[in-house]
Amino acid sequence: MIYLLDLFLIALGAALINNFVFYYFVGICPFIGVSRHLDMAVGMGCAVTFVMVIAAFISWTITTFVLMPGAPVSAWVAGFFLAPETAATIDLSILCYIAYIFAISSSVQFVEMYVRKFFPKLYESFGVFLPLITTNCAILFACLTIMAKVTAADTPADAWGLDKALTLAFFGGLGFTIAIVIMAGIREELELADVPRPFKGAAITLIIAGILAMAFMGFTGVDAGLRNALAM
């Protein structure tokens, strides 16, 4: 029960309370650039969610087994060259940024090739967005959040498992999709509105995003309230 509640709170936090776009400002570039039409926004959202889950899986795996201080695989490899007690304390976490960005860009390439080969229909609908996703900060941000939760935990029991990492990634992607779809819906209506000329395009989009961010601030504290209500 507590386990499910934890997962539920992580999901709620990632999707609504600390929405990637409105709270952390990551993924703003596609949010402004690709939110002109509803169908494109849905495609982009799905592509980001998809890649984010894959990137989270890869980054959790390499963090836990290779990069963390005293990670099993790197300790085993170092055991061939170093004394056993030095090898056990090996810490590769300085390499994490390079490892993550490499993992993200290569996984995007693989996903693109795979989707093009086996799901041509799907490729037509969101294939064009896939290369753009490499430089989408939301993906790297999800990886970094997971890294912080895995390495900075006080006790090994507090470190996030794969289940929590994947929950965060999936619902973070969902939150991004919600944000971009709402925005695309508003912008389609905006085509008919008489916006002052200097505000046309990005400026009015940003102001609408500000108002939406205020609306999303309404979710603040929902998680603490829920935790109290359910844990009683």
Site residues, another protein (CB under 8 A)? 22-29, 32-33, 94-95, 97-98, 101-102, 105-106, 134-137, 139-141, 144-145, 148, 196-200, 202-207, 209-211, 213-214, 217
| Distance separating alpha carbons of residues 219 and 134, to the nearest angstrom | 30
Q: How far is the CB of 96 from another protein (least distance, A)?
A: 8
Half-sphere exposure of 183 (CA within 13 A, CB side): 33
Helix 162-190 with 2-12: angle, nearest 10 deg: 30
> What residues contact 39, with CB distance under 8 A and at least 6 apart?
none
Q: How far is the CB of 228 from another protein (least distance, A)?
A: 24
Output 61 or 105, the one with its CB closest to another protein: 105
Output 98 or 229, the one with its CB closest to another protein: 98
| Distance separating alpha carbons of residues 28 and 20, to the nearest angstrom | 9
Written as one string, the DSSP assignment of 121-179 is HHHHHHGGGHHHHTT-HHHHHHHHHHHHHHHS-SSGGGS--HHHHHHHHHHHHHHHHHH
| Distance separating alpha carbons of residues 106 and 111, to the nearest angstrom | 9
Output 87 or 132, the one with its CB closest to another protein: 132
Q: How far is the CB of 94 from another protein (least distance, A)?
A: 6
What distance lies between CA 150 and its chain's CA centroid? 16
Q: How far is the CB of 206 from another protein (least distance, A)?
A: 3
Q: How far is the CB of 166 from another protein (least distance, A)?
A: 19
Output 8 or 25, the one with its CB closest to another protein: 25
Output 11 or 209, the one with its CB closest to another protein: 209
| Distance separating alpha carbons of residues 13 and 148, to the nearest angstrom | 16
Q: How far is the CB of 75 from another protein (least distance, A)?
A: 22
Output 17 or 41, the one with its CB closest to another protein: 17
